[in-house]
Structure 1
Amino acid sequence: MKQMEENELSVIKEDVMKALEEVYDLEIGFDIVSLGLVYGVDIQDGKDVRIKMTLTTPMCPLAGLMTEDARRKVSEIEGIGDVKIELTFDPPWTPEMASDDVRKILGM
């Protein structure tokens, strides 16, 4: 039974990450997962989602837009309950956190 619950949570977490891949930092033009802005996803009670993420800079003018877009896209997943997003700047984002593909395209 416990293994099945872990598998179900794994599938839900995978769905959440796929949804977050559809959220873009419009200033840079890449999704927040590829940029390394998602620090963690926690599934509680099998349906409530807590996302810990950052931004490329604390002064990002699109902060509200990106976090709301992330919350909305994850909320649209069937069976998802409450979605909360925690913004953190610890550790601060650095370009090294982005995927290899993003760093290559940006010439880093």
Structure 2
Amino acid sequence: MSKPTIDTAALGEKILRVIKTIYDPEIPVDIYELGLIYDVFVNEDFEVKILMTLTTPNCPVAETLPLEVEEKVKSINEVKDAEVEITFDPPWSQELMSEEAKLELGML
């Protein structure tokens, strides 16, 4: 019996919509627009791996933010499992922020 086919692009969009509801508590911009999400992988078993960073290694939400991302992505029906991997390579910098985030923070 073959696995049901799923539109991974559509699932990717759903994942991004969920990620865009998560905000850095110190900055009024979502973590996607801040440039904290480096990559999102979805395999054929609908397991998601998210490569993300934090604004600093001693970020006050270093423990809770990756968990929040994992939990919210796992809440999507099609997603079987989600894992967040934190990396500081490359380190986050303001250049990673979207134009929207820079505008929101008065940097443009």
TM-score by length of 1: 0.89
Q: Secondary structure at the match of 1:85?
A: strand
Offset, 1:105: 2.5
Structure 2: gaps spanning 5 or more residues: none
Deviations 1:52-79 (A, max 9, x none): 0001111101112111111111011012
Aligned to 1:68: 67
8 Å CA contact 1:96, 1:103 repeated in 2: no
Aligned partner of 2:83 in structure 1 is 84
Secondary structure at the counterpart of residue 104 of structure 1? helix
Letter aligned with residue 56 of structure 1: T
User: Which amino acid is 1:68 matched to?
Assistant: L
Q: CA deviation at 1:25?
A: 0.4
Which structure 1 segments of 5+ residues have no match?
none
Counterpart Cα distance in 1 of 2:39 and 2:80: 17
Give the match for residue 94 of structure 2: 95
Letter of the 1:81 counterpart: K
User: RMSD over aligned Cα, in angstroms?
Assistant: 1.3
Amino acid corresponding to residue 47 of structure 1 in structure 2 = F
Partners of 1:24 and 1:105 lie apart in 2 by 13
Q: Which segments of structure 1 move beyond 6 Å, counting only runs of 4 or more?
A: none
Instruction: Identify the residue that residue 15 of structure 1 maps to in structure 2.
Output: 14
Give the total of aligned pairs.
103
Tell me how far 1:46 sits from its aligned partner. 4.3
- Counterpart of 2:86, as a letter, is L
1:49 maps onto 2:15 in alignment: no
- Provide the rounded CA distance (Å) in 1 between the counterparts of 2:103 and 2:23: 18
Q: Does 1:39 align with 2:46?
A: no
